[in-house]
Every structure is written in C-alpha cells, then in structure tokens.
Chain A
Amino acid sequence: MRVLPYGDQALLVEFDDGTGVRAFYDAFTESRPQGVVGVVPAARTVLVRFDPTVTSPTVLMAALRSVRSRRAGEANGPLVEVPVVYDGEDLVEVATATGLTTREVVERHLAPEYRVDFCGFVPGFAYLSGLDPVLHLPRRSSPRVRVPMGAVAVADRYTAVYPRSSPGGWNLLGHTHIQMFDVNSSRPAVLAPGTRVRFCELVP
C-alpha cells in the first residue's frame, strides 16, 4: 500500500486492486485512528480525511501503515436483499454480447453474493463487486440521457442500482422498486461500503 499526500486535511491510501481496498477498509472502520473525520473508499484507493487540530499527516501516516488489513473473505457487513424484475432494455443485448441466453444472464446475475466496494456519482450509487466475469462488459458507447430510478445495471466489473433517475452509460438488466436513497431515513443509503448484497428475482 502507498500513502500519498492530499493537501492539509487528507491522505490517499492506494492499493493495487479492490481486494486491498476492501481488506484495509474493513480493518480501518473497526478502529479509526484519532482525528479521522471521513473515510472514502474508491476502486483502488481509500481517502482518509482528518481534523488538523487533532492529528497531523505524519502521525496519521504512521497509524495508517500499522492498520492490519483483514484477510479477504471476512466480510461481515449487513446483508441486503434487492428484489429485481429482469426487464431491462439492454438484457437482450447483454445476452448476445456474452453468448448467453437472457435466462442465463439473469441466473448469473442472481448467483453471487456481492459487496459494496464504494459509492460515488450520485448519493447512494453503490459499486458492487463480485460480478461474474462473463458479465463484465464495457459501458455503452452512447450513454442514456435518462436512466430510470431503480434501474439495475452492469458495467466494467461492477453491478449497481441507480438510486435516482440520471444520465447513465451502464447496461440495464432490470429494475427494483426499493428506494435506494432516502434523506429522511435513519440509514439514508441502503447500500453503503461493506454492505453485502443479494439480488432476488421478482416475477411480475
């Protein structure tokens, strides 16, 4: 892991891959060093924001290096079930691109237990890792101006649910009726880093 400077109130911890990020994030959220006010995981990095009146980059850097990353596979975040109707606009295209039937695409998407690696893009948009490699596809060459709220989609090595209607370039497999982000809830984002996810099929 590398620790990179990020101004006077943050440090960026960089890993070779998502596995390193997950392991570090799990360990770090269990015991945060003093002065840490924010932890933002991403694909290869974890941004650590700190209060400069409590700690310093030097002290914090030493604390970060001594975080003992947990072994992969020890995920113990809450498990969330997301019911999906697999009626996405791109389902047929994804099947064709992957050489599967649409039924097989659905089964492959349902099979894994996923994990929220990080969020970004819009509030509550969670990037889920664990997608079957056969479903790894690039983003659409022309993003949609409007992806409907609740759309369940795949791109690169991730799957995600759009918490609100927005532009988007992911491949749409279906939709869920669950509200993924609610500012009035005590847990505003259904999917937060470390949460485990299973999709289940709703037949309309």
Chain B
Amino acid sequence: MSGYLEVVTPGPLTLVQDLGRPGYEAIGVSASGAFDRGSFALANRLVANAQGAAGLELLLGGLRVKAHGDLIVALTGAPAPATVDGIPVGHASVLMLRDGVELAVRSPSTGLRTYLAVHGGLDVPPVLGSRSWDTLSGIGPPPLAVGDVLPVGPSPARFPCVDLAPLKPDPDGDVVLPLTPGPRADWVEGDALSILCSTRWTVLPASDRAALRLDGPAVTRARKDELPPEGLVPGAVQIPPDGRPILFGPDAGVTGGYPVVAVVAAHALDMAAQLRPGETLCFCL
C-alpha cells in the first residue's frame, strides 16, 4: 500500500505541480504547470516516475513533511539544504524516507524554486486533467497548509537506478535568456530586440508565477494606442505603457492587451523560474 506525506510546515509557498493542463486556453484557463520544467523533470526521472507525475514546487524552501510508509524522494532545482530526522541529505539525489521520518527543507542559498518528487507521484485529485495549482485562476489543489495529507500514487513499473544526478555548477555572471521575435516588435521605437538585449534588467519584487516584472530604462513605445487583447504564451515579453518589460510565466492569463515584442525560448524559462527579486538578467538573440 502506498504511503502519504503529512505537511508539518508548508514553507512560504509550496504548490502541487505537474506538466499543467494545456488545451483549455480557448476557454480562458492557462496551462500552468511547474515553472522550472527542467528541474521538475529531473526530479521525476531520479525517482523513476512518469514525466507527468505530480510533485511539489517550493518557493524558498521552508517545507517540513513527515513520511507515512516508506517513500523515495528527490530534491532538485534551487539547492536547499535538507535533513531527514536531522541528518543532512544530498541535493539531486535519491533519498529513502523510512516510515515516520521527517524531511526538512531549508531556504536555498541561491535560486528560488526547489522541486520535490516522490516515487509514485502525488495522488491528489486532478482538476481539469492536471494536479497543478494555477495561482492566477485558483484552479487545482490549493497551496499546502499545515496538516495537509498528500497521498502517494502506486509504485511505477521502474525503480530508481541512479543515486544522484551530477549537475553543472551555477554559471558565473548574468543569466542570459535567448529571445525570438514576437508579433508586435514594431510597437517599440527602434529595434526592439536589440534594445532588450542591450540592458541588464532587474527582477522586481512584484514578480510571481504569472510574470516577472523587470526594472530598467523604459523601452519607448512607438505606438501609444490600445491593442485589442490577443493570445499570450509563457515566455512572452510584453511592453506596457511605462516601458518596463513583463516576462510571462506559466500562470500568465491567456490574453493580454499590451504588445508582445519578443518571446523567451521555452527551455530558457527554467532560468527565469530561479531568479530572485533584486537579481538581474540579460536577453540575447
């Protein structure tokens, strides 16, 4: 019989996430899903889960959970020091949690979002086909609270076959996000892509899963009239009237009324998911 995780302390914001619910955009529902897809996928691979198995996305760590039943877990993404009944355990490693132990995840020293995968996946009821919590629309299993019980699904056919995943050390210097052209580059004066690429942008505190808000010199709009709202995708870089770019994340709404001048490649959004307010990023072509 599969076990479950009991939430002792939820941390600042811990969400159930999987690969989201694509396909409902036309009725106004965002796909949502894990923000740093690469780290989420690695966690699932480490514990031999199917890639769509639900896990936890921790914002700045802080989670403490008690294992009921023997469980196998892994932590990836922002490296947050973790202990099992007080004993330090490794990052991006396969961890065995015996029945009754407590896993405590502290705040990461770098990065923002840590992922916890459990062998068998989290078996909470899906909503519209996914176990992701969409912070904008409030669809899905709600953020974790003290005392929550997270059932673990049946053991998948395969068993973990590696101990840990060697990871590249954090790059020195700036995070650089590659851009491709968006539909409204002509709404900005001059060469929109070059302007975005020639500035070091600072992530503002008002950033979240819906969007990163960036600070820097205003990007001048060539057109000040209103744009009828049009479809948005995660990674879209939008220029509002004040000229400071908005980079959309997985919980962006499905339409937006300001011009999208460029789009960050899907795979590069993983880096955006790990940026803390106050940190900087650059764009490149």
Contacts and interface: CB of A to CB of B under 8 A. Distances in A.
Contacts of A122: 28, 137
A40 B255 contact: yes
Main SS class of interface, B: loop
A9 B31 CA distance: 14
Nearest to A3: B183
Nearest to A49: B233
Interface residues of A, number: 36
A43 B27 contact: no
B254 interface: yes
A70 B24 CA distance: 24
Contacts of A4: 182-184
A8 interface: yes
B50 interface: no
A12 B22 contact: no
Contacts of A12: 183, 230-231
Q: How large is the interface on B (under 10, 10 to 19, 20 to 34, 35 or more residues)?
A: 20 to 34
A189 B27 contact: yes
B88 interface: no
Main secondary structure of the interface of A (DSSP, over half): strand
A37 B31 CA distance: 12
A97 B128 CA distance: 42
Interface in B6-53: 22-29
Nearest to B185: A5
Residue among A8, A14, A37, A192 with max Cβ neighbours from chain B (10 Å): A8
Given A6-B183, A183-B127, A120 B22 contact: no
B23 A44 contact: no
8 contacts: A7-B182, A7-B263, A9-B266, A38-B25, A40-B254, A41-B26, A46-B231, A123-B27
